[in-house]
């Protein structure tokens, strides 16, 4: 898989990396057990500091997306539910609040925003696991 970073973006670099890996996992591009590039290698590719990649990997480990083994590398973990229903909703809401604020700022209305999300979700074609 190909990870890319947009330096001028609002999103922190480590967030961009983590999000792209999340997307690759939910879209099936990365499967359980698949190895990820090493921290140093990916850092070199993206021309960012290894600490930044490590931060992204650490977040994904905490959220149960990755497993790391010192000396061996990082691998896609078996999917498991880490957060309570309430916590999951809290996190989803926080992400949605950001989108709503951005849509509002850009002048999109309710229906346009919903329609655009629907379109993008349908493109991914992700089914409930």
C-alpha 7/C-alpha 2 separation (Å) is 16
Instruction: Fill in the DSSP letter of residue 74.
Output: E
Chain positions contacting a second copy, by CB under 8 A:
7-12, 15, 18-20, 22-23, 25-26, 62-65, 67, 69-70, 72, 80-84, 86-89, 91-111, 113-114, 116-118, 120-122, 124, 126-129
CB distance 36 to 21 below 8 Å: yes
Residue 25 in contact with DNA, rule: CB under 7 A: no
Residue 74 in contact with DNA, rule: CB under 7 A: yes
> Smallest Cα–Cα separation from 39: which of 28, 53, 27?
53
Residue 73 in contact with DNA, rule: CB under 7 A: yes
| Residue carrying the six token digits 């691998």 | 75
Among 1, 40, 104, 118, binds DNA (CB under 7 A): 40
Among 27, 41, 98, 101, binds DNA (CB under 7 A): 41
CB distance 95 to 88 below 8 Å: no
Residue 101 in contact with DNA, rule: CB under 7 A: no
Q: Is 12 helix (H, G, I), strand (E, B) or coil?
A: coil
C-alpha 116/C-alpha 78 separation (Å) is 31
Minimum Å distance from CB 71 to DNA?
Answer: 3
Residues that bind DNA (CB under 7 A): 12-15, 36, 38-41, 48-52, 54-55, 57-58, 61, 68-74
């Amino acid at each position: 898989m190909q990870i890319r970073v947009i330096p001028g973006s609002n999103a922190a670099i480590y967030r961009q990396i983590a999000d792209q890996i999340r997307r690759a996992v939910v879209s099936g591009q990365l499967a359980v057990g698949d190895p990820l590039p090493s921290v140093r290698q990916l850092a070199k590719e993206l021309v960012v500091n290894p600490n930044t990649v490590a931060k992204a990997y650490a977040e994904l480990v905490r959220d149960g997306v990755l497993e790391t083994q010192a000396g061996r590398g990082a691998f896609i973990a078996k999917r498991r539910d880490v957060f309570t229903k309430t916590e999951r909703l809290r996190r989803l809401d926080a992400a949605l609040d950001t989108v709503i604020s951005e849509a509002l700022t850009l002048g999109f209305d309710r229906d346009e925003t919903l329609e655009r999300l629907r379109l993008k979700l349908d493109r991914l074609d992700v089914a409930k696991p």
